[in-house]
Structure 1
Amino acid sequence: MNMDKAQKQIIDINMEENRRSEIRKIFDRTPMYNLSALEIDGRKIRVSKNHWVIDFASCNYLGLDLDPEMDDDVSSNIKKWGVHPSWCRLVASPEIYDELERKLAELIGTETTLILPTVTLISIGVIPALMGKSGVMFLDKSAHETMYEAGKIARDSGAELESYKQDDFATLEDLLIKHKNNPRKLIIVDGVYSMTGDYADLPKLVELAKKYDAMVYVDDAHGFGVVGEKPDERNPQGYKGNGVVKYYGMSYDNIIYVGGCSKAYSSLAAFIGCTNEMKKFLEAFATPYDLSGPCPTASLATMLKGLEINEKRGDEYREKLWKLTERAIDGIRKLGFTVINKTGFPIVSVVIGDTDKLIDTANILYEKGILVTVAPFPMVKRGEECHRITLTSANTEQEVDQLIGAFAEIKKYLEK
């Protein structure tokens, strides 16, 4: 099929002016993008007739995607509600939503929750709703790009978008002072940062929010299910997996909490933890509530089952995940690599620092049977190009050792 002139112009111009063209150019240089998974065996994936890779790119942190109990109630719920009741949530929702929203609220400790399909949809619907025509946003520059996109949508409606570097609280406070008379102020951060595994300093952020009568919007897409309350020596990431707010032992005063279910819980859903009054506001003002399709029935069913499994053995999964992550970090650091991880969260970025070398080393990993997320500029800053490893409790020590062995081969290549 020949491409028409209009399509070609759009693509060519964007390739010239948009930095994401760097990603498109890499497609033809490594097999590590756009793989088709032909078969799985635990965390191993067959990607061609005779080639298998070990998956260190998935964010199924608790390994629930492979837990044999996860699909127990899927068929019965589909028989009850159909595959995909396609009401928008404003019109109607299957009763399973009420049960799941109640259980999520009990887990994280909010009055209520509101479920929508994805964290991205929540951001692009909730942030503009909160900001209206004249609010002001304070965006952490290291926060997920989808929140920047949401901020631009809000800005188009008249809101103002400011930004500051991660943990630069002096600049943030200056900006809050600058806008102190604006009654709608929203500080926007990741709960756990998606490339480093750093935790947002919520105590400091909320202290500033209370001082200047602002809210903190916390995108805990990665943290929910992994990070939780009462961290100790046995499990430094805490227990129950009830999110970064509970990790710090905080209340939800001045916080809008967003949790994702597609990572630790392997289910297509996300939610806002909030007060009952805020929920009613968002049901009226957040566009995904009335302009988006809902979550598939199977995803709601697996999320419910996931919460049940979390109660029974979630902490066991998290303890194993911590130990596997430590093993990977220690092994790769001993090879002499710069590893970005100071929390022990199962996001481990290994810096290569050059796009050409990044591609060459990605190909070595592929040949050695390892799948990671290859992160060139503009996914990260120039000079910080890296391989992002994500571990899950379904990985094994032997697989982690194979990962370390593959990086040993990379070290030999880089030292030539």
Structure 2
Amino acid sequence: MNTQQPTVNWVKNRVRQARDDQQQLFDAGLNGLKLARRDGKHIELSSGERLTEFLSCSYLGLEYDPRLVQGAVEAVESFGVQFAAARTRALLPPMCELDELLNQIFQGHTVTFNSVGSAHLGCLPLLGSGELPSYPLRRGPSWIVDRAAHASMQVLQGILWQFGPVQRCDCSVVEQVEQACSTAVAAGHTPIILTDSIGSMRGLYPINRLLQLAERFEGYLYADDAHGTSIHGAAGGGYALVAADERLRNRLILLSSLSKAFGATGGAITVLTAGDAEMIRRHASTYTFGGPLSMGGVGAAVASGKIHLSPEIGELQAALWRNTALIDGLLGPVLGNHDVASPIRFVRVGAERDAISLALHLRRQAIAVTTALFPVVAKGEAMLRLAISANHSQAQLQNLANAVTGGFAELGIRQRGAGDE
């Protein structure tokens, strides 16, 4: 294993690789939409154009719930827009209430951040230092980073190298992770697997099998469950908690988003003990110095947390899965993630110019989707990403299916099935 830190500038490479394709999307008007107003899944652009959107990752529609809106208003009226002091010095009542609710939802000891990215930046160095009480290390960590993990983890590779070597592999292929863990242990390191649990541009990861590897090699699984938060579990604790064998949870470090299906703003990390959480609160730089939490976001999150701990969360989840089943039935296996317990679906296209043409066709049918081009996906594997929500109507999903099918026919693009390369 090469233990020398590479000289590759990840950000420079990413910018250079993405620049041309991103420019195409902006030139086509598919990115940089300027919203004037919105009503549920309807958006109106500053140009007056009205669209049904499949862009937002708020999979349960909670951001429009009157209780979240009222919670945000009351928190701001009581404490102002923010309280600009480090939380090591002062905590406001809604912040404490939110932590208590999240402890129940995520079944551990939870610390909140302004975003999941801030949680990564604050917590990974602490984890790598070996100072978190429940996560001891041998000689130091060996980081095993999924190749498709979110950019907020990828960009930290230079920081991770300060603590131990970084290996990149496909964490959906258990054999690759097993080999990386074996290499780490042979070098005297503790393997720490960094991956999403539901990929933003792919399907589900084998969380329990990764935890089994973490147990076998005496390492840890650091799982970013941003897209799984709220949509799985009796209290919306997320996909990783549902997939994990309870006896292996001492090997799991859980990252959750409060900004997607949760309906509010922010990110959270859940660790094993109160001592771990207190170490993060006192020593994670982005917790202490990362700027105050928005009081409106905290108030909304408290209201959402109460919904999560009620039977209503199950009803919202059921509505989401009815809608994913409906779109699967309408479009069939041509959809990526067909019949997968994820709210994200893909329309495989292939050539970048064809994906842009199809997205523009949908736009003419008053539908907005995400167009994914290189380097988010491989060159020649362009696709449209559809974020399905509980508050899409049956008519909106039917219109989407008709527009996709009609677009392939009108544009003469061959539909690509799951087995196509």
Q: TM-score range by the shorter chain?
A: 0.7 to 0.9
Distance 1:66 1:16 in 2: 35
Distance 2:351 2:207 in 1: 33
- Equivalent pair of 2:358/2:408 in contact (CA under 8 Å): no
Aligned residue pair count: 389
Pairing partner for 1:167 from 172, 177, 180: 172
> Could you say which residue in structure 1 is the equivalent of 2:235?
240
Secondary structure, in 3 states, of the residue corresponding to 1:257?
strand
- Equivalent pair of 1:61/1:321 in contact (CA under 8 Å): yes
- Per-residue CA distance 1:141-191 (angstroms, 9 max, x = gap): 122121111233221x24210011133222222222222153543111111
Segment of structure 1 superposing worse, 201-210 or 26-35: 26-35
> Could you say which residue in structure 2 is the equivalent of 1:217?
222
Query: How much does 1:338 deviate?
Result: 4.7
Pairing partner for 1:206 from 182, 205, 211: 211
> Could you say which residue in structure 2 is the equivalent of 1:8?
none
> Could you say which residue in structure 1 is the equivalent of 2:118?
121
> Could you say which residue in structure 2 is the equivalent of 1:188?
194
Q: Is residue 373 of structure 1 aligned with residue 370 of structure 2?
A: yes
Pairing partner for 1:176 from 173, 177, 181: 181
> Could you say which residue in structure 1 is the equivalent of 2:328?
329
Q: Is residue 145 of structure 1 aligned with residue 141 of structure 2?
A: no
> Could you say which residue in structure 1 is the equivalent of 2:91?
93
Distance 2:281 2:39 in 1: 42
- Equivalent pair of 1:355/1:376 in contact (CA under 8 Å): yes
Q: Is residue 393 of structure 1 aligned with residue 390 of structure 2?
A: yes
Unaligned runs of 5+ in 1: 1-13, 229-238
> Could you say which residue in structure 2 is the equivalent of 1:81?
79
Amino acid at match of 2:172: D
Distance 1:15 1:345 in 2: 30
| Cα gap change, 1:280 to 1:384, in 2 (>3 Å) | same
Q: Is residue 42 of structure 1 aligned with residue 40 of structure 2?
A: yes
Distance 1:25 1:32 in 2: 10
Amino acid at match of 2:408: K
> Could you say which residue in structure 2 is the equivalent of 1:273?
270
- Which portions of structure 1, spanning 4 or more consecutive aligned residues, are displaced by more than 6 angstroms? 14-17
Distance 1:28 1:211 in 2: 47
- Equivalent pair of 2:81/2:296 in contact (CA under 8 Å): yes
Secondary structure, in 3 states, of the residue corresponding to 1:352?
strand
Q: Please, what TM-score do these two structures have when normalized by structure 1?
A: 0.88
Amino acid at match of 1:89: R
Secondary structure, in 3 states, of the residue corresponding to 1:298?
helix
Pairing partner for 1:364 from 361, 366, 389: 361
| Cα gap change, 1:360 to 1:301, in 2 (>3 Å) | same
Secondary structure, in 3 states, of the residue corresponding to 2:68?
coil
Distance 1:301 1:17 in 2: 36
- Equivalent pair of 1:137/1:188 in contact (CA under 8 Å): yes
| Cα gap change, 1:154 to 1:365, in 2 (>3 Å) | same
Secondary structure, in 3 states, of the residue corresponding to 1:73?
helix
Pairing partner for 2:19 from 21, 34, 58: 21
Distance 2:240 2:14 in 1: 42
Query: How much does 1:46 deviate?
Result: 0.9
Distance 2:343 2:412 in 1: 28
> Could you say which residue in structure 2 is the equivalent of 1:11?
none
- Equivalent pair of 2:225/2:240 in contact (CA under 8 Å): no
Pairing partner for 1:102 from 84, 100, 104: 100
Distance 1:249 1:16 in 2: 33
Query: How much does 1:225 deviate?
Result: 0.3
- Equivalent pair of 1:368/1:406 in contact (CA under 8 Å): yes
Distance 1:366 1:359 in 2: 10
Query: How much does 1:91 deviate?
Result: 2.5
Secondary structure, in 3 states, of the residue corresponding to 2:27?
coil
Segment of structure 1 superposing worse, 368-377 or 275-284: 275-284
Unaligned runs of 5+ in 2: 1-11, 131-139, 414-421
- Equivalent pair of 1:83/1:296 in contact (CA under 8 Å): yes
- Identity %, equivalent residues: 21
| Cα gap change, 1:385 to 1:27, in 2 (>3 Å) | closer
Secondary structure, in 3 states, of the residue corresponding to 2:232?
coil
Query: How much does 1:216 deviate?
Result: 0.6
> Could you say which residue in structure 1 is the equivalent of 2:49?
51
Query: How much does 1:89 deviate?
Result: 2.2
Query: How much does 1:27 deviate?
Result: 3.7
Query: How much does 1:17 deviate?
Result: 7.5
> Could you say which residue in structure 2 is the equivalent of 1:234?
none
- Equivalent pair of 1:259/1:270 in contact (CA under 8 Å): yes
Distance 2:26 2:97 in 1: 47
| Cα gap change, 1:16 to 1:174, in 2 (>3 Å) | closer
Distance 2:194 2:40 in 1: 37
Query: How much does 1:370 deviate?
Result: 0.6
| Cα gap change, 1:175 to 1:389, in 2 (>3 Å) | same
Pairing partner for 1:304 from 302, 305, 313: 302
> Could you say which residue in structure 2 is the equivalent of 1:233?
none
Distance 1:218 1:188 in 2: 6
- Equivalent pair of 1:31/1:366 in contact (CA under 8 Å): no
- Equivalent pair of 1:321/1:391 in contact (CA under 8 Å): yes
Segment of structure 1 superposing worse, 18-27 or 371-380: 18-27
Secondary structure, in 3 states, of the residue corresponding to 1:72?
helix
Query: How much does 1:43 deviate?
Result: 0.9
Q: Please, what TM-score do these two structures have when normalized by structure 2?
A: 0.87
